Amino acid sequence: MTTETAEGLLLVDKPAGPTSHDVVAVARRALGTRRVGHTGTLDPFATGLLILLAGRVTRLAEYSSGLTKQYEARLRLGTSTDSDDATGTVISRSDAWRELDPQRVRATLEAHVGDRLQQPPAFSAKKVGGRRSYEAARRGESVSLAPSPVRIDALVVTAVALPDVCFEITCSAGTYIRAVARDTGIALGVPAHLASLRRTAIGPFRVEEAIRLADVTRERARAALQPALAALPHLPDLDIEPRDARVLMQGGRVPLPSGTGPTGGLAAITSGHRLLAVPRKVLADG
């Protein structure tokens, strides 16, 4: 594979410390192209799955950025921080957690399941007045963010060893697990923050399939690249005739079944198991 044709999907298991942009930078060097992006950030302290797209496949990011996420998390009762996670400055302490009933803690956390409005953390990438919220928060400025609708499909408490509570959560894109920890503390009347976080899945993609960041070298990264079609496993595959494929790749129009396209259901348009396009977005060259 030449430098110019390094493209596809790459699953990376991010360690704690690097930012998501740092991971992208490593992949760019390994793949020899600047056309690398991710489909959803992980905070620096968090570990786990990042989906990277390289080359022309970066144009498919919008089709996977909204996939459901799964995490393994641990919240700690007794201290809250300005960032709602372990990297922030402690802003309150309390030993009231010692009086809590573990069953009440479990029930309070699991009550988050469902559709809800969530207050994003002040230290987030949400924009306020054209600036990232975390930029204002780091300057000590007061930040007020509007609640956002989120969906938590499942939340299972796996261990209660107060002051720590471990849980697994499946949620919509845009859900802040830090906020879940913070709000659990508020409901219990005890300060709380997110002590650790690991993303285990994004849609059908599992962290077990990913390569470690330390292994994202020129040889290993290229060997681990998956074809463009792998970025759309949640879309139906619409295979067209070679004649229509040539027309499509030359900028022409081809007939699609009723219900396919922007006003109906999306589909991955292929020919011979090679991804050509999604409706109104041609990926392959002629």
Q: Which residues are catalytic?
A: 43
Rounded alpha-carbon distances, angstroms, from residue 114 to 84, 152, 155: 22, 5, 10
Short-list 1, 10, 6, CA closest to 226: 10
